[in-house]
Structure 1
């Protein structure tokens, strides 16, 4: 029997999935919770009006459907307003990675074909340096944290707050195709130039709805993100829309705290003074916060934190739990908007011994709703979900980027076989839990066997004297590669030989083979990071190779 398709009446409203729909009527008039950013504090009703004023300001700047607006700012109320106003008028929001080099920033702005740039005072020197090379930019709006500040030397349309104050307080946001591009940003460019990732209104709305549901169902002790809680992102807003959670928080009308710069003492103080209950960040940022001097004066009890970008190690998870912080792992990447999987912690899980809890918290977790995750061998054959077989993670979901901006051939490579290829190696347990084993490019190939650099990092991090660790493979004439560890010790008298002693217990138990014990260990004060705070293994490899050559 053929499927029956019913047609809508011609007069029925089709309700396109647009970002403007995330500003529900409840949030437009919400006065109970506030949006906090530096010296600014707005109710949601005021925030809604400011979004309208910004839309009128953009219109006055000549921005319309299909134009691109770039933002160079710290995490602020201004950024959140741009998350909404820019795509809501039909323009494209380009969230510029301010931690790229000036030449890379110039490349991304030309590649994205930016028309207008909103730039913070701190980044004016970068713009002054590359301004003559920006081919499509027509105007600038200056962002400042100092009310009433002016800089006559910088030629621009005006200062953000002053322009909003003069703009009309209402804008009639139009309907348009929900598949229109809403946002674009660039990967960190570990090989070659950064690649442009983009998302449509439909994708962002579906991702937001899924994020709201996920944050409300992953813990038996209540929602991670609650209307009566307080949310502070510690993931840059230029990076995958701060993992898309500001959209979810705004839809829910949650109190939001934007920290501007990521200074560890300031973050700890805001957690204490603003009653922050939920955040998300990479492991290195969480470590900096709990090691800050302000941490000693801060009660972290009840602070729930999603860790992503890099693996949460058992050592860091244990430190967090001792302080009353509840860490959860999540899995995603720039191209996936980013949520794909997250820890689900049940009442039974909380009854487990601490070591088993840590193991559970440090896995990538269960796939989120509407997400299909599989693992494939190099030939593209699906592998069993038995917790033992390892293969590349491939995914499908309705919010994954469809390609790379202006580079469809790279998009075809990303989507080989109709699944998005992540470049991650994982096993999937029989209950569906995803356990990331490594990046394909980071697996250490030694003596005919593969060793997971992430597994080694997890084990070394449990050494009581290790603060932070990164493991890579270095060339070895006999074995192909051998592990090399870079360690930040907790004290000056750290005994390097104790690492081998610590790892020997895992060799004896059969968890790792004897070749997994690092041949070389370097003690350092800090481990190189990428522009989004991840451990930069590409740079570590380059540094080690340079040292070997000399």
Structure 2
């Protein structure tokens, strides 16, 4: 049987799903809305449209064309927002360079992406100066120069400076139509093993992610929402998964946007206060840092909604945020998924639940977004029960998932084995369809024949009033197979510092009530000054395990 394919009139416009179409609504409906950089520079959406055109014109003069890759190294700025649009709208590919990688890794990603043009902020010139001889494909450099950036000696032959390039270009550019499946962006994952892997997304994928994310965030009755009246500020680097796709959503809605530049806690809090920021997203470690900076002590945060992603939302952190009036909830996704897969928004009727149950729901991994086909499966790809107890790997399908890794067919085949994208996350789903990630496959702990969720133990320990941060890792044990170890950073302001035995007794109390297994109680607790994290602020458990093993070996030898 043949499909009944729709017939089109010759003059009908097919309307490909291209990033340029995301600008229609804000430019026509909210052209005078503000976009703010660090509280110092302000422009309107009308100006944004002109600067997007000027950036495209300037890059075209430098040789950028359909299929070219243009790399960007900048802080979170209005310039990055312009690059989010201008470069893909030309038919070129935007590479967002992770500036927190090592110089060798930065060189590797730029070369691997075949970037020909590099836009680089003055702050990162020492890195580029050091690796310039290793850059194989870059033939043109453009300087990004904030007025207060520190000058440094370099030998990089810049073709132009960003603002000068825009000033010399026309405020209009003829952005063509092309296939919506054209690659729009490339960036590199920051795993704890091996070289970074490149993921890529098309115009169609980014547009569908924007529309669906916007619908999901606008759907709650009240709370945990993002709407036209909000003021948006990202606190997730714009080099990382398109800042979770939120700048595209914010632009379509035409809201006031605030870009903070380099992350300085006091500046971030000041921008929340002075610019009236009401919606942000970040990893838990960043919010913890903000809540504990001196500037935040007297600022009213009661209008602020914050999504926590990049790792579990510990109940201790969530409670601290709620106590400050922050409407906090978890989100879930990964670099390979563009990233949004689920959001922990409260369902209608949740307002009748007691505060502890509402807190628990906010910290869950959440409900899948529309169009997300999410399963938890066993090793044979069979579904496991949705009873809140049975666990399996999260596998997904959605219209915006990366179709593979750049120049890495073997890893791509593993990623999509069985026709679903494998997240490598272990989770359960309860009877109300809420997803709960319990661990990464590589981090899961098996002690005494039972699976122990490091994330659940971390959440319980985080509720102790003397704990600032915590990581739970597994170490080998001859008797039990593995044992959980808790690494704890104390809260500095506590009059009586928490002890290692305090933590053990705190977790033991949950075991005695049946909340967790006795095998989950860490027999080893170490008080540490800080916890190692990845370049995007996640706990680096591989590195923490290595450090603990090395420290244990040193202690046994002494």
State the TM-score, normalizing by the size of structure 1: 0.97
Q: 1:532 — aligned with what?
A: 536
* Contact 2:462-2:468 within 8 A present in 1 as well: yes
Q: Secondary structure at the match of 1:271?
A: helix
Q: 1:72 — aligned with what?
A: 73
* Contact 1:27-1:252 within 8 A present in 2 as well: no
Seen in structure 2, the aligned counterparts of structure 1 residues 365 and 539 have a Cα distance that, compared at 3 Å, is same
Give how far 1:503 is off: 1.3
Q: Secondary structure at the match of 2:442?
A: helix
Q: 1:226 — aligned with what?
A: 227
Give how far 1:28 is off: 5.1
Seen in structure 2, the aligned counterparts of structure 1 residues 26 and 496 have a Cα distance that, compared at 3 Å, is closer
Which deviations, in whole Å up to 9, do the C-alpha atoms of 1:135-157 show, x marking residues without a partner?
11011000111189987854201
**Distance (whole Å) between structure 2 residues aligned to residue 269 and residue 148 of structure 1:** 20
Q: 2:347 — aligned with what?
A: 346
Question: Where do 5+ consecutive residues of structure 2 fail to align?
Answer: none
Q: 2:521 — aligned with what?
A: 517
**Distance (whole Å) between structure 1 residues aligned to residue 448 and residue 348 of structure 2:** 43
Q: 1:359 — aligned with what?
A: 360
Q: 1:208 — aligned with what?
A: 210
Q: 2:509 — aligned with what?
A: 505
1:549 corresponds, among 516, 530, 553, to 553
* Contact 1:279-1:305 within 8 A present in 2 as well: yes
Seen in structure 2, the aligned counterparts of structure 1 residues 59 and 149 have a Cα distance that, compared at 3 Å, is farther
Q: 2:182 — aligned with what?
A: 180
2:165 corresponds, among 146, 160, 163, to 163
Mean alpha-carbon deviation: is it higher for 504-513 or for 432-441? 504-513
> How many residues were matched structurally?
549
Mean alpha-carbon deviation: is it higher for 383-392 or for 48-57? 383-392
Q: 2:397 — aligned with what?
A: 396
1:98-497 matches, cutoff 5 A: 98-146=99-147, 153-217=155-219, 219-221=220-222, 224-490=225-491, 491=494, 493-497=497-501
**Distance (whole Å) between structure 2 residues aligned to residue 354 and residue 98 of structure 1:** 40
**Distance (whole Å) between structure 2 residues aligned to residue 325 and residue 440 of structure 1:** 32
Seen in structure 2, the aligned counterparts of structure 1 residues 5 and 467 have a Cα distance that, compared at 3 Å, is same
Q: Secondary structure at the match of 2:425?
A: strand
**Distance (whole Å) between structure 1 residues aligned to residue 227 and residue 320 of structure 2:** 25
Mean alpha-carbon deviation: is it higher for 336-345 or for 491-500? 491-500
Q: Secondary structure at the match of 2:104?
A: helix
Which deviations, in whole Å up to 9, do the C-alpha atoms of 1:70-97 show, x marking residues without a partner?
0011000110000000000000000000
After superposition, the CA RMSD in angstroms is: 1.6
**Distance (whole Å) between structure 1 residues aligned to residue 324 and residue 240 of structure 2:** 28
* Contact 1:301-1:323 within 8 A present in 2 as well: yes
* Contact 2:377-2:383 within 8 A present in 1 as well: yes
Seen in structure 2, the aligned counterparts of structure 1 residues 471 and 273 have a Cα distance that, compared at 3 Å, is same
**Distance (whole Å) between structure 1 residues aligned to residue 540 and residue 151 of structure 2:** 38
* Contact 1:29-1:45 within 8 A present in 2 as well: no
Mean alpha-carbon deviation: is it higher for 519-528 or for 199-208? 519-528
**Distance (whole Å) between structure 1 residues aligned to residue 6 and residue 348 of structure 2:** 44
**Distance (whole Å) between structure 1 residues aligned to residue 51 and residue 3 of structure 2:** 47
**Distance (whole Å) between structure 2 residues aligned to residue 139 and residue 544 of structure 1:** 45
Give how far 1:223 is off: 6.9
Mean alpha-carbon deviation: is it higher for 521-530 or for 193-202? 521-530
State the TM-score, normalizing by the size of structure 2: 0.96
Q: 2:27 — aligned with what?
A: 27
**Distance (whole Å) between structure 1 residues aligned to residue 439 and residue 411 of structure 2:** 22
Which deviations, in whole Å up to 9, do the C-alpha atoms of 1:44-80 show, x marking residues without a partner?
0001000000000110110001110000110001100
Which deviations, in whole Å up to 9, do the C-alpha atoms of 1:467-492 show, x marking residues without a partner?
11100001112111101111011136
Q: Secondary structure at the match of 1:441?
A: coil
**Distance (whole Å) between structure 2 residues aligned to residue 505 and residue 190 of structure 1:** 34
Q: Secondary structure at the match of 1:361?
A: helix
Question: Where do 5+ consecutive residues of structure 1 fail to align?
Answer: none
**Distance (whole Å) between structure 1 residues aligned to residue 222 and residue 542 of structure 2:** 40
Q: Secondary structure at the match of 2:374?
A: strand
**Distance (whole Å) between structure 1 residues aligned to residue 232 and residue 238 of structure 2:** 14
Q: Secondary structure at the match of 1:24?
A: helix
* Contact 2:461-2:467 within 8 A present in 1 as well: yes
Q: Secondary structure at the match of 1:319?
A: helix
* Contact 1:364-1:435 within 8 A present in 2 as well: yes
Give how far 1:430 is off: 1.8
* Contact 2:224-2:327 within 8 A present in 1 as well: no
